[in-house]
Amino acid sequence: MMNKCMFTGRLTKDPDVRYSQGEKPTAIARFSLAIDKQDKDHNTGYINVVAFGKLGEFSEKYLRKGTKIELESHVTPGSYEKDGRKVYTYDFQADKIDFAESKNASQGNSTGNRQPASDSGEDDGFMDIPDGIDEELPFN
């Protein structure tokens, strides 16, 4: 039986990160993800995500409200009692988290200016594209 879910969406708020008690504390990050549904009205759905350990630490360090991510996860059901009734919940436990857009795009910078990966002066394998070349391209 396979339990694997993949989503692309944006965080609705900064992750809430806590650490477990004990000899070796583990990061536990919780956040919700806004997902565009593929229905005719393009409604938005929301899922609850929990990330443990290294993924929890990654979430705490790099993820913020509005960050667009690709999430690979699996469903973890749970339940609790409320007013004498059992309420069932479903969280999506993160197995892998990737950024779905560049930092510049997530900050609203659409100029596409590329910053060097390091100041070491090493060749990264990409050439600089000269300004004004857009007019010379046969497509736009």
Closest CA to 67 of 109, 12, 4: 12
Residue pair 89/80 in contact by the 8 Å Cβ criterion: yes
pTM above 0.85, yes or no: no
Q: Binning pLDDT at 50, 70 and 90, where does residue 132 land?
A: low
pLDDT of 37 above 60: yes
Fold of 5-109: OB fold (Dihydrolipoamide Acetyltransferase, E2P) (2.40.50)
Query: pLDDT exceeding 70 applies to what percent of the chain?
Result: 72
Determine the average pLDDT of the residues in 76-97: 94
The pLDDT of residue 108: 58
pLDDT tens-digit readout, 120-131: 445 555 555 556
The pLDDT of residue 41: 78
Q: Determine what percent of the chain falls in helix, strand and coil, rounding each to the nearest 5.
A: 15, 45, 45
> Domain limits of the chain?
5-109
pLDDT of 88 above 80: yes
